[in-house]
Chain A
Amino acid sequence: MSLLEIKGLTRRFGGLIAVNDFNIELGERELVALIGPNGAGKTTVFNLISGFYQPSEGSIRLKGKDTKGLRPHQVTGLGVARTFQGIRLWSEMHVLDNIRIAQHYRLGYSLVDCFLRTKNYMLREKAIDDIAWELLEAMGLKDCAYELPRNLPYGVQRRVEIARAMSVKPSLLLLDEPAAGLNSADVEGLIKLVRWIHDTFPVTIWMIEHQMKVVMSLCSRIKVVDFGTTIADGNPEEIQKNHAVIKAYLGDDTI
């Protein structure tokens, strides 16, 4: 059974068709990219998967379970984590809290537990803390655990956002333009980080990215969309030679 199976996914906003008949099947531990010109509907696909939008047509199945009608936090509970195009950290809370809060779906204690500080509460909070510290340590963020995200450099904020997504212990990680706004040194770091995550955790990573360097050096499979429609799907070499892709990116006349 595949991890993610999307069939005939379509999303319309009024007259605009943002995503048109999108299909994909992802297995375990894949590293896939979704590329395409601006406004091609890439982020909409991610929003549909994470439950932020409901599809107009088509189905999304996660580990065989249809996600139709689920609210975003429920989808996350099924093991989908994501980052955002513009960084969306909780800016007034320190990094550690950011990572703790993302584990909300497996709190495992009730409000009463929380008031009475029962044994269950203590155990669960400890587990949450342990996971958070482990991740911070592994991702080299231990020193800024008590910093507010807005005081951190942009590149570090990206790392924190990825760490927050990883604290969900996802089986599918969606990265929405992780390299946007990073300088070349940070991009190198990001490539290393993503590769490390892919090697260390049992997770399928699916990223939207414009920087071809990142895409080509990381991904084994690339899907190209334009105007909501898939125009190509294949490994990096195939995509580089694909005429439809070149046309979409560079226009007709250049060739």
Chain B
Amino acid sequence: MQKHVATIAIFAGIILLVLCAQFHILDQYYISVLMFMGVNVILASSLNLVNGYMGEFSCGHGGFMCVGAYVSSICTVLMFSKNHILGAPLLPPQFAFIGFPLALVAGSAASSVAGLVVAIPSFKTRGDYLAIITLAANYIVISAINNMEIIGGPRGFMGMSATERAMQSMLDIPWVLIFVLLGTVFTVWLLRRFVSSTLGKGVPAICQDEIAAEIMSVDTNRMKLIAFMLSSGLAGLAGGLYAQVLGYVNPQSFDIMRSTEVMVMVYLGGMGSLSGAAIAAILYTVLMEALRFLDVWKWVVIPLLLILLMQFRPEGIMGNKELSDLFPKLRKYYSFK
């Protein structure tokens, strides 16, 4: 019974939030902050796999998010909305609640294939050189999309809100919120299962001593492939959800600035801590909203805060510990490792 307490609590929380949204107990602003929170949790925890557990310095997460956002947006627009280039909707709106998750899967798959651009060179190189490869990959994705006029180029791509309308025409509940929350839970669940298995522990082994890992029978190339593709695929999921939340994407919103933001969340939370990444993502989203009144100064204050954090608590909020390490009582309900 105790084993299921956490699961039940999580799903009860989701239902509660959805009900709040449904009956307008929370206004639209809070709902959208909540959705960005979810997206950020996915981004931070997926990047944590590479930057935290594997100890690489990937600074191109925004690029993979971009691939996912565009691919899944194009899929949904193809299926459910009228677009002057892509034509009339291919499917009737009744299929939207199946079509949308499929589009998300397509986006994640595409971005995890894009992750190969980084994964394959990582076999031979690591550290700073790999960081540059991720950076270049980010730039390449952005400028490739900037040059694709058919999907709007630098002006961006829109029409995703038709999918939401299509889903709501079936049943009027906050679909996007539901998908964001489910996506978040799915991500954390998937990553937790991965990193807690002996297979997944090969990833921190590479971080701590790659040579020992390779010689003690860890197939490092395979582990790197899994880590990069999983991480970028989940970033693609985040991108797909983000695009649906906004109803509009443009390449500029996935540039180095975005990648930096995600890195900030990872290092704020603590490398190699899944709960740390999630907490940091939530905290960061709240902070961004709370400091909105600072206007331009927000982007001076937040980096300064992080500089101070690096000076006084460089290991981040959680270090490499999980919630259950800090509060052993939690272990009864949910073990993180």
- A and B, direct touch (CB closer than 8 Å): yes
B197 close to chain A: CB less than 8 A: yes
Which single residue of chain B is at the shortest CB-CB distance from A102? B216
Does B201 count as interface, using CB distance less than 8 angstroms?
yes
A residues whose Cβ falls under 8 Å from a Cβ of B: 50-52, 71-73, 76-77, 81-82, 84, 88-93, 97, 100-105, 107, 109, 111, 114-115, 117, 121, 125, 128, 164-165, 168
Offer 14 A-B interface pairs, CB within 8 angstroms, sorted by A.
A72-B215, A73-B216, A77-B217, A81-B216, A88-B209, A92-B207, A92-B320, A93-B205, A100-B198, A107-B198, A114-B194, A115-B190, A121-B197, A125-B198
A100 to B198, CA, bound (A): 7
Tell me the residues in window 252-282 of chain B with beta carbons closer than 8 Å to chain A beta carbons: 272
B interface, by DSSP: helix, strand, loop or mixed?
A: helix
| Interface size class, chain B | 20 to 34
Q: How far is the CB of B102 from chain A (nearest CB, A)?
A: 19
Q: Which of B203-244 contact A (CB under 8 A)?
A: 204-205, 207-209, 211-221, 226
Chain B residue contacts of A89, Cβ below 8 A = 209, 212
Establish whether residues A101 and B190, one from each chain, have CB atoms under 8 Å apart when the complex forms: no
Contacts of B20 in A (CB 8 A): none
Residue B200 CB within 8 A of the other chain: yes
Q: In the complex, how many angstroms separate the beta carbon of B208 from the nearest chain A beta carbon?
A: 4
In the complex, the number of residue pairs spanning A and B with C-beta atoms less than 8 Å apart equals 92
Report A-chain residues with C-beta under 8 Å of the C-beta of B212.
Answer: 84, 88-90
- Please judge, given known A-B contacts A89-B212, A93-B204, A101-B205, whether A76 and B217 are in contact too, CB under 8 Å: yes
- The verdict on A102 contacting B217 (CB below 8 Å), with A88-B212, A90-B209 known, is yes
| Nearest CB of A to B331, in Å | 13
Which B-chain residue is minimally distant from A91 (CB atoms)? B208
User: Are A114 and B217 in contact, with the CB atoms below 8 A?
Assistant: no
Asked if residues A92 and B208 are in contact (CB atoms below 8 Å), the reply is: yes
Judge if B202 is at the interface, Cβ distance under 8 Å. Answer: yes
A115 touches B208 (CB 8 A): no
In this complex, what residue of B is CB-closest to A107?
A: B199
Determine whether the beta carbon of A168 is less than 8 Å from that of B201.
no
Given contacts A92-B208, A117-B193, is CB(A109)–CB(B199) below 8 Å? yes
Nearest 4 CB-CB pairs, A to B? A105-B217, A76-B217, A88-B212, A90-B208
